[in-house]
Every structure is written in C-alpha cells, then in structure tokens.
C-alpha cells in the first residue's frame, strides 16, 4: 500500500517537540512527506487554512489532522501490520495511550515552559530554532518579529522564575515514572516493540536532552546558562534520560 501516495504535508514550527514526535513517526514508518516549516506567528496562516490552530498539522488526502496524537493514530491506521505505532493487544494499547497522554499533557508542556525560561531572552539561541527551514522572508523578518513573539510566548506559556521551579518538578515527576517503568530492564516502555509511547517520551524530552541525532541543531553548551545546563545534565544521567538518548542514537535515522 501507499506506494504511489502523494507526500503528506506536515506544517511545523521547526523546534516544536510535538512536531518532532510526528516527524519521527513519519520517518520511522518511511512515509513520504514534505515539511512546511514556519516561524511564529506565520505558522498560523498555514494551520488555520488547514483547519487547525497549533502545530503540527498533517495535510493528507484523507483529511487534515491537527493534533500530534491524532496524527500518530492516523499514521498507525494506514501502516502495515509489521510497522505499527500502537500494540495490537488491547491492554498494551491502553498503556501506550495513557503514557502518550501523560507525556503530551505533563512533559511536553513543562519542557517547553521550563526551557523557554532559560533561553527566551537570547535571540541568538532562539533564531535557528524558530527558523531552520522556514521561507527566507520569515527568517529575514526575525529581528522585527522576535521581540513581539517573545512577549507572547512568555505570557502564553507562563514563563517566569516561579513557574520554572514548578515545571522542573513536573519534568522530574514524569522522569521518575519512566525510571520506574524501566527498572525491570525492559527495552521499550510497553511490550517488546517500539511504540507511540517511546516516540512521545523521547521527542518531548528532546529539547532538554538535546540528542545529537535531532534534526533541529542543538544549542552550543557554552551559550546556555549554567543552571539550565546542570539540570539538563542531571536529567541526562537518569535511566529515563539515557533511555531517550539511546532511542535517538539507535532509532532516529
Ligand atoms: N496537543 C497538541 C499540542 C501542540 C502544541 O502545543 N504546539 C505548539 C508548539 S510546541 C504550538 O503550536 N503553539 C502555538 C500556538 O499555541 O498557537 C499536539 O499534540 O499536537
């Protein structure tokens, strides 16, 4: 199936970890797609036109999907039996779905707000993250747009010193849950095959773990505040952090 399929269109903000979750699933399933990367706020024109709001949006001949989990479910539904993102066994499927929901709601949101707290004032760090692969004119407009978007991001994602402490705690709680799961020596979070739970955990943790295989270039360590780096290093050393980094090293082609 799908041999003559027209490539999907994936609307993204390059650095968005929810976009990376979908990008990785598409790459893993070897499904053809073209990425339409946009800088904030220009993504909004593309996502609104496609019937969505946030990124990622996947535009397909079967309709447009406007949430990363809905996209993974759709990709799973069109994939052959030997390349699935969700297990067949109902009990395992439920575990994968619950973990994916936990990572989407608790990890992805906390990672974004916590990381922005340390880097949102540094346009040198933000520019490549928002502009890798976007149309030239958007990149050109970055210096004008950045101060406006910076304020909006701070407001929208509750970026401040007090919330950063809470978001870091939230990240630690999710990592603790993953550490617990991994304590029995398993290779994947659920069952004996990679699933949506693994892709979701690794991609949503990636902005802090900065795996070298990530398609969006990592920041240079010297550019990052010392406190941010030391907390990142602490998370990298956990079983959960090492697990996500190993998934990138071995599965992110
Ligand atoms: N639940 C959504 C979350 C997506 C999300 O929060 N995307 C962010 C980027 S990381 C976004 O588009 N933000 C811009 C906005 O809210 O308008 C999903 O899984 O797709």
Structure confidence at residue 1 (pLDDT): 46
* High-pLDDT (> 90) share of the chain, %: 97
Cα distance between residue 128 and residue 124, in whole Å? 8
Instruction: State in Å: Cα 97 to ligand 1 middle.
Output: 19
Nearest protein Cα to ligand 1, atom 19 = 68
Q: What residue's CA is closest to ligand 1, atom 11?
A: 54
* pLDDT interval class at 3 (50, 70, 90): low
Distance 55 CA to ligand 1 centre (A): 5
What rounded mean pLDDT belongs to the chain? 96
Instruction: Examine domains 8-77 and 90-251 and report if their fold is the same.
Output: no
Q: How far is the CA of 108 from the centre of ligand 1 (A)?
A: 9
Is pLDDT of 70 > 70? yes
User: 18 C-alpha vs ligand 1 centroid, how far in Å?
Assistant: 7
Residue of 24, 55, 69, 206 with the most ligand 1 atoms within 8 Å of its CB, for mutation? 55
pLDDT of residue 253: 79
Note if the bond before 135 is cis, omega within 30 degrees.
no
The CATH number given to 90-251 is 1.20.1050
Ligand 1 atom nearest to 17, measured from its CA: 10
| CA 201 to centroid of ligand 1, rounded, Å | 16
Provide residues with CB under 6 Å of ligand 1. 13, 16, 18, 53-56, 67-69, 104, 112
Q: If DSSP states are collapsed to H, E and C, what string results for the chain? A: CCCCCCCEEEEECCCCHHHHHHHHHHHHCCCCEEEEECCCCCHHHHHHHCCCCCCCEEEECCEEECCHHHHHHHHHHCCCCCCCCCCCCHHHHHHHHHHHHHHHHHHHHHHHHHHHHHHCCCHHHHHHHHHCCCCHHHHHHHHHHHHHHHHHHHHHCCCCHHHHHHHHHHHHHHHHHHHHHHCCCCCCCCCCCCCHHHHHHHHHHHHHHCCCCCCCCCCCHHHCCHHHHHHHHHHHCCHHHHHHHHHHHHHCC
The preferred substitution site among 18, 104, 110 for testing ligand 1, maximizing ligand atoms within 8 Å of CB, is 18
* Ligand 1 mutation target, pool 42, 54, 113, most atoms within 8 A of CB: 54
Nearest to 189 by CA among 168, 172, 174: 174
Was domain 8-77 assigned CATH 3.40.605.10? Answer: no
Q: What is the pLDDT confidence band of residue 216, given thresholds at 50, 70 and 90? A: very high
Q: How does pLDDT run across 84-93, given as a tens digit for each residue? A: 999 999 999 9
Structural Rg of the chain based on CA atoms: 18
Give residue 5's pLDDT band: very low, low, confident or very high (50, 70, 90): confident
Closest CA to ligand 1's atom 13: 54
pLDDT above 70 for 2: no
What is the predicted pLDDT for the residue at 74? 98
The number of the ligand 1 atom at minimal distance from the alpha carbon of 40 is: 14
Cβ atoms 159, 109 nearer than 8 A: no
pLDDT digits (tens, 9 = 90+) for 28-40: 999 999 999 999 9
d(CA 202, CA 31): 20
pLDDT tens by residue, 134-185: 999 999 999 999 999 999 999 999 999 999 999 999 999 999 999 999 999 9
Cβ count within 10 A of residue 160: 12
Spell out the domain ranges in the chain: 8-77, 90-251
């Amino acid at each position: 199936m799908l041999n003559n399929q027209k490539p999907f269109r994936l609307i993204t903000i390059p650095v968005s970890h929810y976009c990376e979750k979908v990008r990785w699933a598409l790459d893993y399933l070897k499904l053809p797609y073209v990425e339409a990367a946009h800088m904030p706020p220009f993504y909004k024109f593309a996502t609104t036109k496609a019937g969505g709001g946030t990124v990622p949006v996947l535009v397909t001949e079967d309709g447009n999907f406007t949430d990363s989990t809905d996209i993974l479910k759709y990709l799973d539904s069109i994939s052959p039996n030997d390349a699935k993102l969700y297990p067949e066994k109902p009990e395992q499927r439920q575990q994968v779905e619950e973990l994916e929901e936990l990572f989407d709601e608790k990890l992805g949101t906390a990672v974004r707000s916590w990381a922005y707290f340390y880097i949102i004032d540094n346009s040198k760090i933000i520019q490549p993250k928002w502009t890798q692969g976007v149309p030239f004119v958007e990149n050109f407009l970055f210096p004008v747009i950045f101060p406006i978007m910076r304020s909006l991001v701070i407001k929208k994602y509750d970026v401040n010193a007090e919330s950063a402490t809470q978001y870091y705690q939230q990240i630690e709680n999710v990592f603790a849950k993953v550490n617990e799961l991994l304590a029995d020596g398993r290779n994947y979070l659920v069952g004996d095959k990679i699933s949506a739970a693994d892709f979701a955990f690794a991609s949503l943790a990636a902005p802090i773990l900065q795996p070298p295989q990530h398609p969006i270039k990592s920041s240079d360590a010297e550019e990052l505040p010392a406190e941010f780096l030391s907390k990142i290093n602490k998370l990298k050393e956990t079983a959960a952090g090492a697990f996500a980094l190993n998934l990138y090293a071995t599965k992110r082609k």
